[in-house]
């Protein structure tokens, strides 16, 4: 049997040792090259696009020779007003891309020795950068599987039996339960969305799946509507999981990764950010055969293109 990709040397092209051995200047240079690929890392003014700037090396800043605007490599990106060293930032990205089922923020904060709050916001900013790879705006095609899985809203049963309530009733639920609907090409991308009911997934399919595609879904009755637009293979999970090639196993393996991430690493997440964990998981799923150095570069490059995060800039200052 061929060796599994993740066990091969080709999957390991970046390591913490390499990052720290190369040092801060090399890490900084990498961010410059990712920010300004068209000039090979030479600064380009974000205000007037002029490509000559004075270097204020002591503070790692630039001053545009045309308009005198001062900026840094992270100005206007999700890493704006970052305080972390570039080498630590790169190490954090390496750890995150290596964690194939996600990573708890306590662990990240210990590994790179930063505050929990810093790790939490950093990881969320990186998920925003990753989301651009997942939500490309392109429709899915070929053979597309669709399914939903519920997350959150757990109500702990009362200790004494006499005080326990019927947790199936709406009035006893927390209101934080959500469903992740995922659409996955058998040969390609995974696209997750968050909704309150699985039936909303029909609308997602209409918006995001090519009419030339064929689909697979389980027996849930809300998927019946899909037959109006597509050829749909149905599989009845109460009887069989894979019926002569009719299955939704690809989308199920995405849910398995997402569940491992949320339950194993994060121990439950807010419904407000569930979509970001789903995006993160979809990206890991779609890139499970990409080496870790390439993954880190994709994240840095996306982060350098992502505008200042509205959700996460100054998050803890606002929360305080």
**Can you give the binding site for Zn ion, defined by CB under 5 A?**
45, 47-48, 50, 64, 66-67, 69
Q: Closest separation between CB of residue 76 and Zn ion, Å?
A: 13
Minimum CB distance to Zn ion, residue 31 (Å)? 20
Q: Minimal distance in Å, beta carbon 141 to Zn ion? A: 42
The whole-angstrom separation of Cα 243 and Cα 233 is 10
**190 burial level (CB within 10 Å; 0-12, 13-18, 19+):** buried
- Which is closer to Zn ion, CB of 39 or CB of 115? 39
Q: How many C-beta atoms lie closer than 10 Å to residue 119's C-beta?
A: 25
- Min dist. Cβ of residue 39 to Zn ion (A): 14
The CA-based angle 166-259-144, given to 5 degrees, is 110
How many angstroms separate the Cα of 294 from the Cα of each of 13, 16, 177, 211? 8, 15, 35, 33
Q: What does the block give as tokens for 189?
A: 């991308």
Q: How far is the CB of 46 from Zn ion (least distance, A)?
A: 8
Q: Which is nearer to Zn ion, 56 or 66 (CB)?
A: 66
Residue 127's closest CA among 299, 255, 314, 313? 299
* Residue closer to Zn ion (CB basis): 22 or 44: 44
Residue among 69 and 135 whose Cβ is closer to Zn ion: 69
- CA angle 192/196/197 to nearest 5° reads 85
| CA pair distance 141, 173, nearest whole angstrom | 37
| Residue whose CB is less far from Zn ion, 59 or 83 | 59
Q: What tokens appear for 160 in the block?
A: 């004494």
- Residue closer to Zn ion, measured from CB, 26 or 44: 44
Query: To the nearest whole angstrom, how small is the minimum distance from the Cβ of residue 75 to Zn ion?
Result: 12
């Amino acid at each position: 049997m061929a060796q599994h990709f993740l066990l091969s040397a080709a999957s390991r092209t970046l390591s913490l040792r390499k990052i720290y051995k190369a040092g801060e200047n090399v890490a900084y240079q990498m961010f410059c090259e990712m920010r300004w690929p068209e000039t090979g890392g030479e600064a380009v003014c974000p205000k007037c696009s002029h490509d000559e700037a004075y270097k204020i090396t002591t503070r790692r800043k630039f001053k545009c020779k045309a308009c005198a605007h001062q900026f840094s490599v992270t100005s206007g990106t999700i890493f704006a007003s970052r305080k972390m060293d570039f080498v630590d930032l790169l190490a954090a990205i390496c750890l995150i891309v290596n964690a194939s089922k996600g990573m708890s923020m306590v662990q990240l904060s210990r590994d790179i020795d930063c505050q929990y709050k810093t790790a939490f916001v950093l990881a969320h900013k990186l998920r925003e950068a990753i989301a651009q790879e997942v939500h490309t705006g392109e429709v899915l095609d070929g053979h597309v599987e669709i399914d939903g899985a519920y997350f959150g809203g757990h109500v702990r049963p009362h200790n004494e039996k006499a005080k326990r309530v019927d947790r199936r009733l709406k009035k006893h639920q927390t209101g934080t339960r959500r469903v992740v609907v995922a659409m996955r090409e058998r040969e390609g991308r995974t696209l997750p969305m968050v909704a309150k009911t699985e039936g909303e997934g029909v609308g997602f399919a209409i918006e995001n799946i090519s009419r030339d595609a064929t689909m697979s879904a389980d027996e849930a009755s809300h998927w019946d509507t899909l037959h109006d637009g597509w050829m749909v293979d149905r599989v009845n999970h109460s009887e069989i999981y894979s019926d002569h090639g009719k299955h939704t196993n690809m989308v199920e393996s995405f849910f398995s990764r997402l569940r491992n991430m949320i339950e194993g690493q994060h121990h439950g997440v807010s419904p407000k950010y569930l979509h970001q964990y789903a995006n993160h998981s979809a990206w890991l799923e779609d890139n499970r055969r990409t080496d870790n150095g390439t993954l880190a570069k994709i994240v840095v490059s996306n982060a350098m293109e992502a505008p200042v995060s509205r959700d996460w800039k100054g998050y803890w200052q606002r929360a305080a």
